[in-house]
Structure 1
Amino acid sequence: MSARGRWVGAAALALTTITGGAQVASASAGEGSSEPHPTRMVASQAAANIVPPTLSGTKVFLYDALNNRPLAGKLVLFTNPGGAEICRAVTDTNGEAGCSGALLGAGTISTLGGGYYATFQGDEHYKPVKAKGMVAFLADVP
Structure 2
Amino acid sequence: MDMQNLINQNMIKLGLDAKDKKDVIKQLTKVLKKEGKLIDEETYIFDVLEREKEITTGVGKAVAIPHGKSCGVKETSVVFARLKNQVDWDAIDGNPVKLVFLLAIKKEDANNTHLRILSKIASKLMDDEFLNKFLNAENEEVVVNAISAIC
| TM-score normalised by length of structure 2 | 0.29
The structure that is helix-richer by fraction is 2
Which of 1 and 2 has greater Rg? 1
| TM-score normalised by length of structure 1 | 0.30
| Relative contact order higher in (CA < 8 Å, ≥ 6 apart) | 2
The structure that is strand-richer by fraction is 1
